[in-house]
Amino acid sequence: MTATFKVACVQSRATPDHTRSVAEAIDLATQAAQVGAQMIALPEAFDCLVPTCEELLDYVRPEDSHAAVLACAAFARSHAVWLLAGSVSVLAEHGRPANRSLLFAPDGNVAARYDKIHMFDVDLPNGDTFRESDFYEAGRRAVVTPLPWGNLGLSICYDVRFPYLHRALAGHGAAMIAAPAAFSSMTGPLHWEPLLRARAIETGCFVVAPAQCGHHYGARHSHGHSLIVDPWGCVLAEAGDEPSFIVADLDLAEVARFRAAIPSLAPDRAFAIESAA
């Protein structure tokens, strides 16, 4: 197993025009493949962002007839790369839409699936309200999957605020964690980078975080600034505010070096908690 490889994050801007959204993301992924990326990660909801549940229900399809899923499979196969479709809105087996990450192997087959566990149901100080649970059925299963270089743990956007999920992924063998996102432009400047760096440091994992950017529809904007972070919390690559891609070489031997120096994944200590009088 070779421990070093080149990873890319695509930063795109999805809109209700799903055909155009997918085409623009795939074009950036093509550029990343041309500079030697062996694994390419797309953002959350790279295929389509819509303002209403009705529009989402009109758009979603099962995986086997979903245009974005088929485009990703064809891309991975034609470029012989690993492709993480950060998330796609699919009609899941239970009959409701799911916000689903799909990892495609170089033969175009799906190697892993992860449905977002933590729904973004918030009322932000600027007046923005999001109720992701109105759109999607929450996932119930964390996922760690093998790659040729090491194990990858899967998460999506709002999951980044829940450290226990990432600790569980690392505890089950993840050396890298994917965090595709469409992170709010309101909270992004304050929270995006600190949260990702914290998750990397806490787990001793590389964190690969492709993000959406810019204006999608109405008042919805995403922060951008896709990041690749090493286990020490150092930023290896960062995008700006516009559609683009970033690349970095990941040496997974660094995971073992970090964890030997700072063994914070050792078994948790039992403790009691008291409320002060």
Which residue in the list 48, 72, 157, 205 is annotated as catalytic?
Answer: 157
The secondary structure of residue 61, as a DSSP letter, is B
Length of the chain, in residues: 277
- Catalytic residue at 157? yes
Residue 151, CB-side half-sphere exposure with 13 Å CA sphere: 13
Please state, in angstroms and as integers, the Cα–Cα distance from residue 87 to each residue in 50, 103, 126, following that order: 14, 10, 26
Cβ atoms of residues 223 and 185 within 8 Å: yes
Cβ atoms of residues 41 and 66 within 8 Å: no
Which residue in the list 9, 24, 44, 72 is annotated as catalytic?
Answer: 44
- How do strand 176-178 and strand 206-209 relate by DSSP bridges? parallel
Cβ atoms of residues 12 and 24 within 8 Å: yes
Which residue in the list 9, 48, 63, 116 is annotated as catalytic?
Answer: 116
For residue 72, which of 112, 103, 33, 116 has the smallest C-alpha distance?
A: 103
Strands (E), the chain: 4-11, 39-41, 82-91, 97-104, 110-115, 121-123, 129-131, 144-146, 151-154, 176-178, 206-209, 213-217, 220-223, 227-229, 235-238, 244-251
- Catalytic residue at 116? yes
Which residues are designated catalytic? 44, 116, 157
